[in-house]
Amino acid sequence: MEARLVADGIHWVGAVDWDRRLFDELIPLPDGTSYNAYLVRGTAKTALIDTVDPPMVEVLLARLASLGVERIDYVICQHAEQDHSGALPRILARYPEAQVLATAKCTGMLADLLAIDPQRMQAVEDGQRLDLGGRTLQFVFFPWVHWPETMLTWLPEQRLLFTCDLFGSHLATSDTFARDPAAVLSAAKRYYAEIMMPFRTIIDKQLHRVTELDPACIAPSHGPVYAEPRLILEAYQDWVAGPPKNLVAVPYISMHGSTRVMVEHFVEGCGRRGVRVEQCNLVDADLGQLATLLVDAATIVIGTPTVLNGPHPGVAYAAYLTNALRPKTRYLSVIASYGWGGKIAEQLAAMVPNLRAELIPPVVCRGLPRAETLAALDRLAETIASRHASL
């Protein structure tokens, strides 16, 4: 468990969690994850930026021991969530001289979440600088990315930006740096979709603060380090503010086959009209894959049977998550089947008010879809194709 060199005077001392498969009891982790912590040493002082998830604290301590670290003057806590802060009690016990530096809001949260002694913490201001001797840490407040107390840390002498969760990826890898751009961007896009997308308008307003710094290296708190920041910066600019793509996401469930027939006919109709479609059976779907589709989808069409006069609970759950994620989707519709009644389309549309999307008239049928229903599905595909022509 040795530390890894990131740059002169800077070491990665985090932990790779190869086997974790669920985060927050909600987010699937098909590729595991990492908890990045960085040791920055100046000629006078030493700072640890973030810690690790509590089960991995021995790994962090072992990496620090590999560097012969006997004293830590400051622990920079960029974010109070426990996957970054959870090892703080052990670190403060091991290094009794260490002082925690964080935003004022973060210090309050650390006291609440981890019972950290307020005497061991000091609030910093936006733009405040900390001189370590030959190396300076400057604090850049970045609230609501993705919690209200988040900040970034800038090391101007080496143009290195520690970005906490921003630009992160849930990806377990032995690589310290992003050596496989395709794999890293895929994981980073999924991470953005699941965690950052609800805050995309805030990120959009703040992203210029990162680009104006012109970092030579970006070191997030999950996933590999970017020695070529343009890779992730350009990706974020597209995900956050770029126009949606010619893509229809079709999350659905079918209980007795009717909804499936409708969905498959609609998907074929879109394909014939040059519209890319991804259908996602919610029965066994990885909701992270659905979230990733929503980053680019210009249209969402929800497919559901009726259960007790409402949408299938699995579809309702997906609609709730979609509303929470707030994608930049422009158009919405519903494909549904029922046995005896219900206002299923209206109920689903009411579940996603955050989308602010144009509701294209839904297609709802009783029982098996017949010729008139299939024709209506073709008209829906044609309407969507005409809307997408302007993208």
As for how many domains the chain has, the answer is 2
- What CATH number corresponds to the domain at position 111? 3.60.15.10
Per-chain mean pLDDT for the chain = 96
174 lies in the same domain as 84: yes
98 lies in the same domain as 228: yes
Residue 367 lies in a domain: yes
Residue 388 lies in a domain: no
348 lies in the same domain as 261: yes
Supply the range of the domain harboring residue 12. 4-241
Helices and strands, counts by H and E, the chain: 12, 23
164 lies in the same domain as 134: yes
Residue 389 lies in a domain: no
79 near 65, Cβ under 8 Å?
Answer: no
30 lies in the same domain as 143: yes
pLDDT at position 345 is 86
Query: Once rounded to an integer, what is the mean pLDDT over residues 137-148?
Result: 96
* C-alpha to C-alpha distance for 284 and 266, rounded to whole angstroms: 21
140 near 154, Cβ under 8 Å?
Answer: yes
84 lies in the same domain as 35: yes
Domain C-terminal end among 215, 241, 267: 241
- What CATH number corresponds to the domain at position 370? 3.40.50.360
pLDDT in tens, 193-222: 999 999 999 999 999 999 999 999 999 999
Domain C-terminal end among 241, 270, 299: 241
Domain C-terminal end among 224, 241, 258: 241
Residues facing 64 on adjacent strands:
none
Residue 111 lies in a domain: yes
Please, which pLDDT band fits residue 343 given cuts at 50, 70 and 90? Answer: confident
pLDDT at position 233 is 98
82-107 in b/e burial notation, b at 16+ Cβ within 10 A? Answer: bbbbbbbbbbbebbeebebbbbebbb
pLDDT at residue 285 greater than cutoff 90:
no
285 lies in the same domain as 210: no
237 lies in the same domain as 251: no
160 near 139, Cβ under 8 Å?
Answer: no
Residue 220 lies in a domain: yes
pTM of the model: 0.95
